[in-house]
Amino acid sequence: MDRAMHPIPAFGRLMAAQLLLILTALFALITVGTPAAAAASVQNENMTVSLEAGPAHSGARTIAIVLTPKPGWHTYWKNPGAAGVESRAEWTLPPGATASDLRYPVPDRFVVAGIMNYVFKTERALLVDIDGLPASGEIGLTFDYLVCDDEICVPESANLAANLSDIGVEAGRIGRWQADQPTAHDGDARVEVQGDRLRLSLAVPQISAVSDAYFFPAVDGVVDYSAPQTASIAGDRIVIETATGFNPDADSVPGVVKLMLEGGETLGLAVDAEPGSVEAAGTPLLGGADETDPASGTGAGPATAPAPPLPLIFLAALAGGLLLNIMPCVFPILSLKALSLAKGGVSERAARSEALFYSLGVIGAVLALGGALLALRAGGSTVGWAFQLQDPRIVAALLLLVTAIALNLAGLFELPAIAVGADGLAASGGRSGAFFTGILAAVVATPCTGPFMGAALGAALVLSPLAAMMIFGGLGLGLALPFLVIGFVPALRRRLPRPGAWMERLRRLLSIPMFVTAVALAWVLGQQAGADGLSIGIAAAVLLGLALWWLGGARRKLIPAAASAAVFLTVLAVPTTLSNVGSADAAEGTVLAAAPYSPAALSDLQAAGDPVFLYFTADWCITCKVNERGALSSAAVADHFKSRGIRTLVGDWTRSDPKITAFLTSHGRAGVPLYIYYDREGRETILPQILSADDLLALGSGQDA
Amino acid sequence: MFKSFTAAALVVAAVSMPAFAQPQVGAAAPDFRAKTASGESVKLSDYRGKTVVLEWTNKGCPFVQKHYKSGNMQNLQQQAEADGVVWLTVNSSAPGKQGYVDGEAANAEMKEYKTSPTAYLLDPKGTIGRGYGATATPHMYVIDKEGVLQYMGAIDDIPTAKIEDVKGAQNYVSGALAALAAGKSPDPAATRSYGCSVKYPG
């Protein structure tokens, strides 16, 4: 350039136009020339590629190809996953020098619209070991790669050239790139293909610090990239399971197992899994410290249950609690409680304290139930939410309780102890009453747990106990919230209708949903304990009604608490005899010819190549029953299933069944209903919890016609 | 109350992951119904008795451009159709994403590239694409006369976006079609598709 500029002064009279021409030409040369002229670093539109050379040894010298994608962009691992391509390097080396294959660092997962990609989103270096390289001299590299953001992909190419002495870096810097490389796994790694499942296991040091694990296969076709992977700990080994890809029968399966460790660290192990038997899955790893995946909406969720973030679960629990307020079993209690505050003469303080004590009762009861549930599970019992309803004795007790509330609402009797009506909450003595009403609301709400709780409570059971209790707390808070708000916001109270004779009528009216709840519980009892059990339950309810009428019918409110307690204990003693009564067969009322679920029954049908509709139900689950009375009992659905050869299996969870609990847990559920369709290839589709006949009629039409 | 139930179910559904099907070579290819660029409705099973090629496309994708600008895709298509093969081009790009077309734009695209597939199928919701596990563009499928999937994966064996790499590449699709015509099974029957990810909604 100097030489080009030099002559200008000598031609002083050079015309301005000519000068301009020369400058333009020079400028053009510079701009066009840069990409063509190879440099040690090339800044392309979406990624910068640079060369660095490690210290010269007698043996191989390590060269780093440093990749820096623009923020929001990514480039690919050797196995790019379900889309993308691997990078290609073409070297121009001094005579006698030979380059190894590219050594890729441990990748990250990146899911775009459900497509799994194995990528690098931040600065990484691919390493190459080159034999016979002198201390100085020219090397050249043509590097072709694909770089993408969420929307588009751009193939770019970088022509690099450098003198080795110019790009030499200290050992420490190369060491930094080395640290991103996977560590060779020391010990045996085994892989086994069972049907359409690929199972892999390997011994891992410091296994207690591992919070999750993911297997990146180095070869294509081994796994279905978009299928979730499940990791568990069995002894000192990690077991990873996932769905196979189109070509699972490889002799050995190389790849990288990425371990997510406590505290956010990760460790990549390069494995070459040999065929062998893989132990059964152990304690599930739940991915608490999974690598973050900010740009991914769908989340590269590992784990059995795609666990949503904690605040979301808490909100779902809160919403679920709120929803419970309008359930037939809770609404009467809440509305009467609310109206009692509207009565004149309730001071600001009294209203607040009532609201607080009611909330305490609700939250306390829900937490107690949740705590009991967690304790039972910790003790090895396989129970789920509403587990208490799996015992006919408890159902009978609830039946009596609900009957008593219904009779009270209907005006048959007044009892201070369980009064939830207008009279029971006389201004000052309301604290314990409010607290008790809260507990009552929580207890009678359990049969009404809807689909909201399915997700939130399912999550609760696989989280740490503290987080789980937070979720139960959220549920309780949601349930208590309407009354809490009414108690604390006088403006709201003033908007409540004036009390009057209509309140008594409303109260009578509200006894109807309560009676309906009682009928539903009686039916559950009949299903659990048969006609005999049902008769005992109803007889007890009638006896209870008579007793209450006799005690309270004279409109005496001075019945000693001891007397009422005695009556209750007597009546409650009845249901304990129910435990020995045999169970009736459940899941009638649908016209689908359903066989009972067992893991063996399912695998037999699948082995025969039959499509299978599998569902889990329980008699105390109202959503289940709505579906069974609706979509599942449609004759059109039955015909459709018959013509398509779809076999139906039903798991009845009315009484606790560890096999079913295990299945539900593996699908991230703590409760029923759960509807699953397996097509002829055994592919699983989870159907909505609110089924429509159309959902069912669509089965078997597209996928395996 | 039912509204609340439905809302609740939606929340639950939103939390679950989108499911990807994985079709299998040797098994029946999933049937589907789709709207074509010219507004007709076709079903895969309409073509039973003929060999069918499915081609996933996205005009903005450099890997697709490689095979169209070189004329490779057009040649492959003409050859196939001359042999009585049905060629269905499928576009699963979602509205607003790269490569999305409506019927009009699809017709313009075919005119520009001088292609004439049996039909250009519009799949903006990605239903067909997800049903077939199409992950990249181009992603190719070959279905035999009995409706059995015989090949799925890449168009050829050089996974680049460079036009000059078309020459000298082994074309898996023409290989599969030749094998089927000779009454044999394609080899390879499944490969990794290379290219841009399919621009599905979500």
Question: Read out DSSP for B38-58?
Answer: TS-EEEGGGGTTS-EEEEE--
Alpha carbon separation from A590 to A9, A341, A520, A694 (Å, rounded): 101, 46, 18, 16
A339 lies in the same domain as A478: yes
A382 lies in the same domain as A512: yes
- Is the pTM higher than 0.80? The answer reads no
Interchain pair B30, A704: CB under 8 A: yes
Interchain pair B135, A683: CB under 8 A: no
pLDDT value at position A447? 60
pLDDT value at position A534? 81
Based on DSSP, count helices (H) and strands (E) in chain A, helices before strands: 19, 25
Tell which wins on pLDDT, A264 or B15: A264
- The answer for B 119-158 residues in CB contact with A (under 8 A) is 126, 130-131, 133, 135-136, 152
Q: Convert the pLDDT of each residue in A469-498 to its tens digit.
A: 877 888 888 888 888 888 888 777 777 776
Which of A85, A148, A298 is facing B194, going by the closest CB pair? Answer: A85
Tell which wins on pLDDT, B38 or A700: B38
Domain contains A8: yes
- Domain boundary among the residues A148, A163, A179 is at A179
Domain contains A289: no
pLDDT value at position A225? 86
Interchain pair A115, B152: CB under 8 A: no
Whole-number Å distance between alpha carbons of A333 and A324 = 12
The distance of B10 to chain A (nearest Cα, Å) reads 8
What is the pLDDT averaged over residues B86-115? 93
Interchain pair B131, A88: CB under 8 A: no
- The answer for B 3-62 residues in CB contact with A (under 8 A) is 4-6, 8-9, 11-13, 15-22, 24-25, 27-28, 30-32, 45, 60-62
A558 lies in the same domain as A461: yes
pLDDT of B169 higher than 60: yes
Whole-number Å distance between alpha carbons of A665 and A307 = 12
Domain contains A228: yes
A20 lies in the same domain as A122: no
Is A298 in CB contact (< 8 Å) with chain B? yes
Interchain pair B97, A220: CB under 8 A: no
Q: Convert the pLDDT of each residue in A324-377 to its tens digit.
A: 777 766 777 777 777 777 665 667 788 888 888 888 888 888 888 777 777 766
Q: Was domain B27-197 assigned CATH 3.90.1150.10? A: no
- The answer for A 565-624 residues in CB contact with B (under 8 A) is 623
A544 lies in the same domain as A599: no
Disruptive mutation site among A690, A699, A704 for chain B (greatest number of B CBs within 10 Å) = A690
- Domain boundary among the residues A139, A159, A179 is at A179
A175 lies in the same domain as A187: no
A360 lies in the same domain as A502: yes
A260 lies in the same domain as A362: no
pLDDT band at B107 (very low <50, low <70, confident <90, very high): very high
Q: Which helix (H) or strand (E) holds A215?
A: strand A210-217
A139 lies in the same domain as A217: no
What is the pLDDT averaged over residues B79-104? 94
Residue boundaries of the structural domains of chain B: 27-197
Mean pLDDT, chain A, whole residue set: 75
Q: Convert the pLDDT of each residue in A445-465 to its tens digit.
A: 766 554 445 555 655 655 666
Whole-number Å distance between alpha carbons of A116 and A134 = 42
Interchain pair B192, A224: CB under 8 A: no
Disruptive mutation site among A246, A452, A685, A691 for chain B (greatest number of B CBs within 10 Å) = A246
Class of residue A266 by CB neighbours under 10 A (exposed 0-12, middle 13-18, buried 19+): middle
Class of residue B202 by CB neighbours under 10 A (exposed 0-12, middle 13-18, buried 19+): exposed
A7 lies in the same domain as A79: no
pLDDT band at B22 (very low <50, low <70, confident <90, very high): low
Domain contains A293: no
Q: Which domain holds residue A187?
A: 183-284
Domain contains A196: yes
CATH number at residue A253: 2.60.40
List residues bridging with B36 in a β-sheet.
B121
Interchain pair A308, B15: CB under 8 A: yes
pLDDT of A563 higher than 70: no
Q: List alpha helices for B94-193, DSSP H.
A: 103-113, 127-132, 172-181
pLDDT value at position B112? 93
A316 lies in the same domain as A412: yes
Whole-number Å distance between alpha carbons of A256 and A273 = 10
The distance of B142 to chain A (nearest Cα, Å) reads 15
Domain contains A295: no
Which of A98-102, A469-473, B39-43 is predicted with the least confidence, judged by mean pLDDT? A469-473
Q: Convert the pLDDT of each residue in A17-38 to its tens digit.
A: 555 555 554 444 444 434 445 6
Q: In chain A, how many domains are there?
A: 5
pLDDT value at position A565? 52
A570 lies in the same domain as A604: no
